[in-house]
Amino acid sequence: EPEVTQTPSHQVTQMGQEVILRCVPISNHLYFYWYRQILGQKVEFLVSFYNNEISEKSEIFDDQFSVERPDGSNFTLKIRSTKLEDSAMYFCASSGLAYQETQYFGPGTRLLVL
Amino acid sequence: KNEVEQSPQNLTAQEGEFITINCSYSVGISALHWLQQHPGGGIVSLFMLSSGKKKHGRLIATINIQEKHSSLHITASHPRDSAVYICAVTSNSNYQLIWGAGTKLIIKP
């Protein structure tokens, strides 16, 4: 069964460093999403991406964040200058044809900023 | 202000019991989702519904659009059902997925 994959599973970085989180969505999906979950808190929407551009973004998704689909398979989230409060689990998801389709989630990347 | 509220926050039950988890929302939605988050963190979509009722195995999800309320039921619960169950809604204004805080379910053998 097709699945969404994410790398790395864990990343530790120093405050101020740039990190890139990678996702490979399900191959025939058109919509891609990033979410984050700070430890002990609810999942929060960051951004959705369709047709090589951002469809929606939340207030959390400020200039420090960017997303890219550099090739036909990868979908990346870049955090330019990490802060302590960026420590969280980051989930990638994809869905088929529309927002209203079921989203399939990757296993997450646990980011720790020291 | 919580746009999606779940109850209870925690639920412990014995194997075999009928489980109900409730979700209320305050925004206009195009769809409501029930998801399961495993102890390791992985998230699985269980249901997406915009009206009525859906059933998959021992899981049943219902939604009442007028009352802005949904329920997730688990029949004949089993220890492997232990997980966090999350209600989330797709806002019909910005299409963002708004998540509830989750209900932590423990089923004891």
pLDDT in tens, B45-104: 999 999 999 999 999 999 999 999 999 999 999 999 999 999 999 988 877 889 999 999
Cβ of A55 within 8 Å of Cβ of B44? The answer is no
HSE, side-chain direction, 13 A CA sphere, residue B25: 29
Give the per-residue pLDDT at B85. 98
Q: What is the average pLDDT across A66-76?
A: 90
A45, A48, A59, A110, best to mutate vs chain B, most B CBs in 10 Å:
A45
Give the per-residue pLDDT at A48. 93
* A99 interaction partners in chain B (CB closer than 8 Å): 30, 90, 95
Give the per-residue pLDDT at A88. 97
B7/A80 Cα distance (integer angstroms) = 38
Give the per-residue pLDDT at A100. 67
- Which pairing describes strands B83-91 and B103-108: parallel, antiparallel, or unpaired? antiparallel
Q: Give, rounded to a whole angstrom, the gap between the first and last alpha carbons of chain A.
A: 37
**Among the listed residues A43, A44, A2, the one whose alpha carbon sits nearest the alpha carbon of residue A24:** A2
Phi-psi region of B95 (alpha: psi -120 to 50; beta: other; left: phi over 0): left
Give the per-residue pLDDT at B1. 64
B24/B63 Cα distance (integer angstroms) = 10
Residue with tokens 């979950």: A37
Give the per-residue pLDDT at A73. 85
Give the per-residue pLDDT at A99. 62
Band of pLDDT at residue B40, cut at 50, 70 and 90:
confident
**Among the listed residues A8, A15, A17, the one whose alpha carbon sits nearest the alpha carbon of residue A113:** A15
